[in-house]
Amino acid sequence: MGIDYRPLEGGIHEIVINRPERMNALDVPAKRELGRIWRDAAQDPAVSVLVLRGAGEKAFCAGSDIKEMQATGTMVDTRTLMEAIPGIGVELHKPVVAALHGFTIGMGLTLAIHADFRIAAETGKLGFPEVQHGMLSGVSAVTLPGLVGEPRALDLMLTARLIEPREALRIGLVDEVVSDSLAAAMALARRIASNSAAAVAQTKRLILLERRRRARDHAAVIDDARLAILESKEFGDVVAHKPGAGRIR
């Protein structure tokens, strides 16, 4: 199991991160599959709106698969990473609605903040815990200040604290908190899909023009930062299975 992709109704397609036994943590094959799906969706006229969710009860996505990093001693390459993030490595003008629940952290929150809408369930935890175990979220470090402002971005990313959905709503990290995030995401997707697909796509393209340019312009800096992390002692501790490395708090 990894990533499931299927049509639902009226131009709405569903993407399911389907690794519930790993709290939907993303390994390299799953990241590559996400990149393929974004490319296919971008080119498919049958796709109007995409709904992104995680399987199981515990998590939307608990980040990158640290066990895989411990086995391989490295992280995914920057190009594969950027292509896995909606609208960053692959130009995607189809709207993406993320239905969040449980743990939405690290790479999971990176996927969420690059979706166009984030609807969260009433319970769960959101955050960027990377600095706790010698890692970083480079693309999100460029995008997050535009969503929540620099002070809050620094708070979330440098303290590595996890927050509740209501706080995420208050600071603008999510758009809505509801009892059933998938039902609300589907209702929103239906409303968007009822509009002109061409007009929706071109409007999204213009609204996010600057954000995509910023991420593209900073790709080399992000890659340099990730290489520096690979050479750090703290990342080495994660690979060496040191006590406390890679835990969720």
* Tens digits of residue pLDDT in 208-230: 999 888 888 888 999 899 888 88
For residue 79, tell me if it sits in a domain.
Answer: yes
CB 104 within 8 A of CB 125: yes
| Band of pLDDT at residue 247, cut at 50, 70 and 90 | very low
State whether the Cα torsion 141-173-39-30 is positive or negative: positive
What pLDDT, in 10s, does the model give residues 52-104? 999 999 999 999 988 887 888 778 888 999 999 999 999 999 999 999 999 99
> Is the pLDDT confidence value at 130 over 70?
yes
User: What distance in Å separates the CA atoms of residue 24 and residue 22, rounded to the nearest whole number?
Assistant: 5
In-domain check, residue 225:
no
Q: Considering the domain boundaries, does residue 177 fall inside one?
A: yes
The terminus-to-terminus CA distance of the chain in angstroms comes to 26
The CATH number given to whatever domain includes residue 94 is 3.90.226.10
Q: Is residue 48 part of a domain?
A: yes
Domain range for 78: 3-193
Long-range contacts (CB closer than 8 Å, 24 or more residues apart) made by 225-233 = 225/136, 225/138, 226/75, 226/78, 226/136, 226/138, 229/75, 229/134, 229/135, 229/136, 230/74, 230/75, 232/134, 233/134
Residue range 170-218, pLDDT digits in tens: 999 999 999 999 999 999 999 999 999 999 999 999 999 998 888 888 8
* Strand-strand pairing, 117-127 and 96-105: parallel
Measured CA to CA, the distance from residue 249 to residue 234 in angstroms comes to 17
The answer to whether 47 touches 11, Cβ cutoff 8 Å, is yes
In a domain, 165, yes or no: yes
- Is residue 89 situated within a structural domain? yes
Domain count, the chain: 1
| Whole-number average pLDDT of the chain | 92
**Does residue 242 lie within any of the structural domains?**
no
